[in-house]
Amino acid sequence: MEEFILKIKKAFPYLTDTTISKLMSLGEVQLLQEGETFIKQGERHNRIALVMQGLLRNYIMNDNGEQITVVFATELQSIAPYKCLFLQQPASETTEAVKSSVLITFDYPTMRKLGEEEPQFNKLYMDALEKTLMNAIERVEDFTIAKPEERYQRLLAKHGYLIEQAPLKYLASYLGINPVSLSRIRKRISTGKRK
């Protein structure tokens, strides 16, 4: 617990000790084993999670019933069924632990309400949102700028830890390609390249 507080302090240095302890009293610590879910598609839900340890992913289903990993979240990133929170709809995605993980989860309406009295809560939420937005934009940029093979290279360069920890099939759907293609790409890269 102490350890988590330190991590949060480091990531959000403007939070005072009293705010942090308020925060911790509002949050619920949740442990997930590999494969366990934080929220399932179709459920209604109003919690937002801050990842303290481990690796999660959000996935949706395509028309063939295959799982498509839309986003990964690792330490100090937040993850939530955003459309569900913002539009009060059932979640369209499932959030699942890729490996055993620890989250702190917060009730979204409560956080927004408290933010009105506690500027620091608001700031925290906005910072998290802005970070999430930047990640999403970067991801869109990758899709528009780079072809599959280059996307894999960029992923390798920027988030190498993902390649180590997530199975290939998750990575493939994350990159928008099929697993067989990714396997081929890996081979092209490892063997002298081209042709």
Interface ranges with its own copies (CB under 8 A): 60, 62-63, 68-71, 82-83, 86-87, 112, 115-116, 119, 122, 125-126, 129-134, 136-137, 139-141, 143-145, 173-174, 176
Stretch that binds DNA, among 53-61, 119-127, 128-136, 162-170 (CB under 7 A): 162-170
DSSP annotation string for 27-96: -EEEEE-TT-EEE-TT----EEEEEEEEEEEEEEE-TTS-EEEEEEEETT-EE--HHHHHH----SSEEE
Bridge partner list, 85: none
CA distance 175 to 169: 10
Residue 195 binds which entry of its own copies, DNA, none, CB below 5-8 Å type-dependent: DNA
Contact 70, 5 (CB under 8 A): no
CB of 112 to its own copies, least distance (A): 8
Of 61, 126, 163, 168, the one binding DNA (CB under 7 A) is 168
CB of 104 to its own copies, least distance (A): 20
Q: Is 178 in the site for DNA (CB under 7 A)?
A: yes
Of 109, 119, 160, 167, the one binding DNA (CB under 7 A) is 167
Bridge partner list, 107: 47
Contact 137, 145 (CB under 8 A): no
CA distance 11 to 22: 17
Stretch that binds DNA, among 68-76, 90-98, 117-125, 147-155 (CB under 7 A): 147-155
Residue closer to DNA (CB basis): 35 or 119: 35
Stretch that binds DNA, among 6-14, 48-56, 125-133, 177-185 (CB under 7 A): 177-185
